[in-house]
Structure 1
């Protein structure tokens, strides 16, 4: 089977007529300029050393060079083979806290943005895994089911904001329950012969106001699901900004007494959740190695084979075409424009042209 991998390369063929047209008008313009400078009677004598045939040959070679370069850029392929490609990894749910407290700016630009940035890095550095995205606050909502399409996952991560769920607060128990359902609905079916490694990564500031999360984490761990938690924010804490529809700062969130609310990270709650889920707890810091450590920990888990596909590979044939183009370019460079054996007058004496 013969095919071109990069058909868009043929758009560059417009360079060929451009070379011909520009060369034609350049010759006419230079001839006219010379005739105006030295006169039309003297011009034929002074320009008689220039070979019009060699100029045409050089133009033809330039056209051929561009043609072969474009042809090589189009990547002609001939011959094919098939190869079995196995997809292996783990099933992961990224559960991201989108409560108002995640908008605190004790880390820049704010806790939620920092979490989204690091999760995008995780997606880029953990290919082959099936990943789902869940937003949670007082309730949890699955935004993206398990998929091995990193572009789709990153799109859902970027779309996370405090409006992703309708209820404020932080409810880890609801997160774990919804994550379990997401694994059962969209994950690999398990039985006595198939074991799937499942991971829940919770990105939050840890302000859980509900009970029962630790017991739910222990039960998931008994079923083989590991829970990792990442804390965002500082112990000093920060105020929660209130912005208008245009994003301009109006003030800061206040309690019923009119005092500015200061939200601090609750690392102990997240650490206890990770320990119950037989995972690890990380504190996110600027320039820290929490992403690397999490990737290593997940990488050490047992991989699951998701599916097997047959990939078709085509044999590249552009190398010879590219070599021909290079050789023609070198030939064009060494061809001069003077007539062979031309003789001109130097004073009273006729001498051969160099």
Structure 2
């Protein structure tokens, strides 16, 4: 609980003073009865009755005042609301090593299928963009709510030489900063999901990408494709292309993302769970002063009802 106009809470300090005045008046009332009668007549002047009844209406009145004062300070509660500008960038490795068939039917087909499933499982309020990277990185589908555009872009991926993981991260960050007219000054909350076999062979380093992601407060989650036994045939020559899980893990863990080593449905659900917990919602404070005022009115009605029932007058 917080107060949007907390400076008004000083009014609460008046309650002890009001209570003290009430106690003082009750004491003077007793002294008055003793002063103007004798002890023989005291029982008739101040007949015995349940003394607590006199204080019920006053107590309810004080409670009403306290609630009204709290309501005047505009109490607010924290609530989670969807972030409409939330953006997910999916970066897909299209280097030649992704031809390896150690992941059936091959790494690139598996990566494409995983990316599509992941995108379609995201809530509709998330904007999704797609980046492909080999020797360089390019935005092939700008961030938007159009899932079909992302699918079409993924279907048209073409393999190329070298792998620029660092450039992929920088390209994703630039796409986030260019999301809308506000993005340069107020970037949308974002998360990068990078699918790769994990070797950075050109462009800016992974450490530079880590530094840039941390500065932008954009986590990078990684999904590693491949095994230590992958091979590809390039220009008639068989080349070993074992997956570099350490590079991907370092990128993810250093940017507060998560590193995964498979791309089955369970893994993809875990990626989304990690993203949704921090990206899909923001906390706002909603004014709930009406609740306090409503309860205060109930106390006022109770005080008036008790006074009328017991003393035939309003407090």
TM-score scaled to structure 2, two decimals? 0.58
Which of 239, 263, 276 aligns to 2:254? It is 276
Alpha-carbon distance between aligned partners in 2 of 1:141 and 1:190, rounded to the nearest angstrom: 19
1:57-206 equivalences in 2 (<5 Å): 88=84, 90-127=86-123, 128-162=125-159, 168-187=161-180, 189-190=182-183, 196-206=188-198
CA contact (8 A) 2:85 2:126 kept: yes
1:38-57 equivalences in 2 (<5 Å): none
Query: Which residues of structure 2 form unaligned runs of 5+?
Result: 1-81, 283-315
CA contact (8 A) 1:92 1:199 kept: yes
1:302–1:180 distance in 2 versus 1, CA, 3 Å: closer
Alpha-carbon distance between aligned partners in 2 of 1:278 and 1:168, rounded to the nearest angstrom: 30
Alpha-carbon distance between aligned partners in 2 of 1:214 and 1:208, rounded to the nearest angstrom: 11
Alpha-carbon distance between aligned partners in 2 of 1:227 and 1:188, rounded to the nearest angstrom: 24
Higher strand share: 1
Alpha-carbon distance between aligned partners in 1 of 2:246 and 2:83, rounded to the nearest angstrom: 37
Match status 1:233 vs 2:226? yes
Alpha-carbon distance between aligned partners in 2 of 1:161 and 1:233, rounded to the nearest angstrom: 19
CA contact (8 A) 1:203 1:231 kept: yes
Residue 274 of structure 2 corresponds to: 297
Q: Counterpart of 2:178 in 1: which secondary structure?
A: helix
1:190–1:118 distance in 2 versus 1, CA, 3 Å: same
How many corresponding residue pairs? 200
**Deviation for aligned residue 1:190:** 4.5
Residue 52 of structure 2 corresponds to: none
Q: Counterpart of 2:173 in 1: which secondary structure?
A: helix
Q: Counterpart of 1:298 in 2: which secondary structure?
A: helix
TM-score scaled to structure 1, two decimals? 0.52
1:136–1:123 distance in 2 versus 1, CA, 3 Å: same
Residue 264 of structure 1 corresponds to: 242
* RMSD, aligned CA: 2.5
Higher helix share: 2
**Deviation for aligned residue 1:302:** 3.3
Residue 215 of structure 1 corresponds to: 208
**Deviation for aligned residue 1:88:** 2.7
